[in-house]
Structure 1
Amino acid sequence: MNVHTPIGKSEAESSPAPAQPHAFHYAGGPTAILLIHGLTGTPAELKLVAKGLVRAGYSVYGVQLAGHCGSEADLTATGWKDWLASALEAFDRIRQDHDAVFVGGLSMGALLALLVASHRSDRVAGCLLYSPTMFYDGWSVPRGSVLLHGAILLGLGRFFRFRENFPYGIKDDRLRARVQAAMESGRSEEAGLLYMPGRSLAQLLYLIRDLKPRLPALRMPVLVLHAREDDVTSIRNANYLAANLGGNVEKILLENSYHMITLDQERELVIDHSVGFLKRTEPRRLAAPSLSLALNRGRS
């Protein structure tokens, strides 16, 4: 979720977790949506939105990224290319059973959705980006983070880990208390890790570096949902993507949430805006082959 105060090096150790025990699939209609969670996060942070999309008639899949839902040691054993491989493998599997597949994600998951679209540009129907994280510049991020990020890119990430701090990306007081309790008790499969290893933050920065030059070539429809009061990533992130993506981008700002918009007080709005985007986008995608077939018949 968030990146905050650096403390000492991690000493967490454990054996690797099974491949994807916390992934989910909700069966629905012929059009599918793949949802990707954030760095140190869990598929659970997307389940409420997923269920709303299923009610609207879509099949929804939530991927568990490599190294996640376990310990810090599990996470640091993987890097951004492993996380992307998890997402691509899930997309390719889903695409075998669905004519149209949209890809969405929260925070880093939104960036992975764009990378999936870049690597599968002829097969991704569109992207749903929730609180995309190109820059850690929200109001709760400590000053000096830019300099620290530079040090991490120079290979010093092994000396740092970052603790989730208040408000944990959540504006809703009761929900925040539940998420905080789950993180502090070590239930990473429910609420993600309480600490982010510096090595993992470095991998995110490498991912962003790979993604940036790809943006102008991404021409599929994109929805960007971002909280105006995002505590982790300011609306500069949404503005940057709207200005640099090569296709049609719908940008919507939410007024009563923090970073974790798929869980927070406006999650129903997130669902409504997502369904509206899908319904506006899906008919054009699915009608195109029929239109082409009709034109060819008319010429024969």
Structure 2
Amino acid sequence: MIQNVEFRFEGGRCGVLLIHGLTGTPTEMRLVGKGLNNAGFSVRGMQLAGHCGDARDLIATGWKDWYASVEAAAESFRHEVDHLFVAGLSMGGILALKLAAERPEWIAGVGVYGATFRYDGWAVPWYGRLSFLLPLLHRLGIGRHRMVHENEPYGLRDERLRKQVSGLMLGGDSAAAGLPGNPWPSLAEMYNMAAVVRRELPKVTAPCLIAHATEDDVASVENAYLVARSVSGPVDMLLLEDSYHMITIDRERRTLIHRSAEFFSKVAATRTPAARAVA
């Protein structure tokens, strides 16, 4: 059964919509949300369609459902604030970019955290690097009940936190720590979406803060450079050297929070009152 673990932190007239990753949970965005709220932002930590339940719940949805839930959350939130920013981790970063491409009039700026167009990090096993073939297998009806299991270091350089999160995940608490792996059909959907968004990146005109771990175990930093090369708006890069993939909760999360708050505040300060009313 799907549990609702979305969160809301009330603050000022600048809002940030936070999007978690594939098989993840809003909990992985909560510390960033709290930090941004402490900096004066209103924050919504949304929950993607089909998430925070079991694998069957997730498989029952596809990338268009995930994006529809993002767009619905943004549509609601944007009427409560003068400036709406969107930020996401991993696949959540891809969804944030799609929202900025599809709804440029809504979005003042984007936080792209650990963008994952391909699973090509140093800890991904050789067969995991072939997951780009999953859309073909999915179309052929192969592997519907198979899963690519998570493995050490679970996106976390902080060993204490890694032990805590892996215990929750492997213990079946998907609302707190996500699923212990990626179902093949869901990975296929993610790759299909990534291909669409990659073509749409030039439509992203909003300023982007692109944050990525230099030693990302799940998605290499080349994913970040792809975004930086392809979007049309201004780019600010933040490369983190003491974290793995889960940069929103790993060792340098405070740096990520500080730079995000600084970036969003700077962008908001450049927008005129007329543009603020549209946002």
Question: TM-score of the superposition, structure 2-length normalised?
Answer: 0.94
Percent identity over the alignment?
A: 46
Of 174, 177, 185, 1:199 maps to 185
> Given the alignment, which residue of 88, 95, 100 partners 1:105?
88
Question: Contact 1:105 / 1:130 at 8 angstroms: preserved in 2?
Answer: yes
* Alignment CA distance shift 1:158-1:25 (3 Å): same
**C-alpha separation between the residues in 1 aligned to 2:236 and 2:125?**
30
2:105 counterpart of 1:122: yes
Gaps of 5+ in 1: 1-15, 291-300
Show structure 2 runs of 5+ residues with no match: none
* Cα distance per residue 1:127-152 (max 9 Å; x no partner): 00110101111000112434343144
CA distance in 2, matches of 1:238, 1:148: 19
- After TM superposition, the structure 1 = structure 2 runs for residues 174-185 of structure 1, keeping only pairs within 5 Å, are 174-185=160-171
CA distance in 2, matches of 1:192, 1:45: 9
Residue 17 (structure 1) aligns with: 2
The equivalent residue for 1:162 is: 148
**Alignment equivalent of 1:271, drawn from 253, 257, 264:** 257
Q: Distance in 2 between matches of 1:235 and 1:63?
A: 26
Contact persistence 2:135–2:191 (CA under 8 A): no
1:245 maps onto 2:231 in alignment: yes
- Aligned residue for 1:190, secondary structure, equals helix
Which residue identity lines up with residue 273 of structure 1 in the other structure? Answer: R
Which structure has the bigger radius of gyration? 1
Q: CA contact under 8 A between 2:207 and 2:267: conserved in structure 1?
A: yes
Counterpart residue type for residue 269 of structure 1: T
Amino acid at match of 1:60: V
Separation of aligned partners in 1, 2:124 and 2:275:
47
Amino acid at match of 1:280: K
CA deviation profile, 1:227-274 (whole Å, cap 9, x unmatched): 001100111011111001111111110010000000000000010110
Could you give the per-residue CA deviations for residues 88-143 of structure 1, whole angstroms, max 9, x where no partner exists?
00000001111210000000000000111122111100100110101111000112
Task: Specify whether residues 189 and 151 from structure 1 end up closer, same or farther in structure 2 by C-alpha distance, changes over 3 A only.
Answer: closer
Distance 1:82 1:184, change over 3 A: same
Q: 1:286 to 1:174 in 2, by over 3 A?
A: farther
The alignment status of 1:282 with 2:268, answered yes or no, reads yes
Aligned-partner Cα distance in 1 for 2:85–2:271:
11
Task: With the length of structure 1 as denominator, give the TM-score of the two structures.
Answer: 0.88
CA distance in 2, matches of 1:102, 1:185: 34
